[in-house]
């Protein structure tokens, strides 16, 4: 099986623009007692999550950094509402995308490298191809135009890791308290084939969550159905880790 990274296709000629954020978010961590880092990363997003039953929703509405004890308290409140396979980290985004959109959109849309939006008709076509794990979630986007499309956000679970050969040999393990990995995205990026899921055709990497990966089955279906708007970049998958 071959794998590809999904990115915006700037040559497709679409003018669509999305200015939005997810409705809720976990705070980042301020001065982790284990690694001393202050950080948060909103590239992990679970748009299907509904936090309305949670008390004190205001705690999840503003991006900020908190002491790790407060982050862990809020994280525990969110855990029961996550989809199976979800993994949280400081700054994780939750709930639907809320904001404004305008312009002409393709069937597939990647407003930034870690979001993948799709028009409903395109999603239905892909689901009819028996692609695995395609979960479209409603957005709350306001369009400044008539005849606006219905854009859904694909919920992407974090699975699969970078191959050790593309990572620094002196790298440290993730922080045991806050989970911070602390590495920049390697170039070139190699995938560890032994860690890749066999039940999903599109997902995000667990260790580099800004990277959206799909299988050749997904690519073939999009090309056969004429679904454009994104580009597919091959990712090597060495079979033996060192």
Residue range 6-23, pLDDT digits in tens:
999 989 999 999 999 999
What gap in Å lies between CA 36 and CA 175, rounded to an integer?
Answer: 10
Q: What is the pLDDT of residue 146?
A: 83
For the chain, percent of residues with pLDDT exceeding 90:
93
Q: How far is CA 158 from the centre of its chain?
A: 8
127 pLDDT exceeds 90?
yes
What the block records as the tokens of 18 is: 């999305």
What the block records as the tokens of 231 is: 């580009």
User: pLDDT tier at 242 (50, 70, 90 boundaries)?
Assistant: very low
- pLDDT, tens digit, for every residue of 169-216? 999 999 999 999 989 999 999 999 999 999 999 999 999 999 999 999
User: pLDDT tier at 87 (50, 70, 90 boundaries)?
Assistant: very high
Q: What does the mean pLDDT of the chain come to?
A: 95
Closest by CA to 217, choosing from 238, 203, 206, is 203
Q: Mean pLDDT, to the nearest integer, of 45-51?
A: 98
More confident residue, 144 or 91: 91
User: pLDDT tier at 31 (50, 70, 90 boundaries)?
Assistant: very high
What gap in Å lies between CA 32 and CA 178, rounded to an integer?
Answer: 7
Q: What is the pLDDT of residue 147?
A: 84
Q: What is the pLDDT of residue 240?
A: 52
What the block records as the tokens of 173 is: 């393990």
The residue ranges of DSSP E strands in the chain, in sequence order, are: 3-8, 17-25, 28-29, 45-46, 65-66, 93-102, 108-109, 117-119, 136-138, 140-143, 151-154, 202-204, 212-215, 230-235
Q: How far is CA 169 from the centre of its chain?
A: 27
What gap in Å lies between CA 59 and CA 19, rounded to an integer?
Answer: 22
User: pLDDT tier at 238 (50, 70, 90 boundaries)?
Assistant: confident
Give the CA distances from residue 213 to residues 32, 62, 82, 231, in Å, rounded to whole numbers and listed in that order.
30, 29, 21, 11
Closest by CA to 24, choosing from 54, 44, 51, is 51
Q: Mean pLDDT, to the nearest integer, of 49-74?
A: 96
Q: What is the pLDDT of residue 241?
A: 43
Give the CA distances from residue 92 to residues 3, 43, 87, 95, 134, in Å, rounded to whole numbers and listed in that order.
25, 7, 9, 10, 20
Closest by CA to 148, choosing from 180, 127, 119, is 119
The CA-based dihedral angle spanning residues 13, 16, 19, 25, taken in that order and rounded to the nearest 10 degrees: -90
- pLDDT, tens digit, for every residue of 154-172? 999 999 999 999 999 999 9
Give the CA distances from residue 120 to residues 72, 106, 125, 136, in Å, rounded to whole numbers and listed in that order.
36, 11, 9, 8
Q: What is the pLDDT of residue 144?
A: 83
């Amino acid at each position: 099986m071959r794998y590809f990274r999904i990115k915006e296709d700037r040559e497709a000629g679409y003018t669509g623009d999305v200015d939005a954020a997810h409705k809720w978010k976990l705070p980042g961590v301020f001065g982790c007692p284990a690694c001393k880092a202050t950080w948060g990363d909103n590239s992990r997003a679970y748009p299907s999550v509904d936090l309305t039953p949670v008390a004190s929703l205001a705690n999840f509405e503003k991006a900020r950094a908190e002491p790790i004890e407060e982050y862990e308290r809020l994280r525990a409140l969110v855990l029961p509402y996550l989809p199976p396979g979800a993994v949280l980290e400081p700054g994780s985004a939750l709930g639907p995308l809320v904001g404004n959109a305008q312009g002409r959109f393709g069937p597939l849309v990647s407003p930034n490298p870690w979001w993948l939006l799709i028009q409903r008709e395109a999603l239905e076509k892909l689901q009819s191809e028996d692609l695995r794990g395609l979960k479209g979630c409603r957005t709350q986007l306001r369009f400044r135009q008539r005849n606006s499309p219905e854009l859904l956000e694909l919920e992407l679970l974090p699975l699969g890791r970078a191959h050790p050969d593309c990572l620094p040999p002196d790298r440290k393990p993730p922080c045991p308290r806050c989970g911070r990995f602390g590495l920049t995205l390697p170039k070139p990026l190699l995938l560890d084939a032994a860690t890749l899921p066999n039940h999903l055709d599109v997902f995000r990497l667990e260790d580099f969550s800004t990277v959206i990966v799909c299988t050749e089955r997904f690519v073939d279906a999009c090309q056969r159905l004429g679904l454009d708007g994104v580009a597919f970049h091959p990712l090597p998958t060495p079979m033996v880790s060192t």
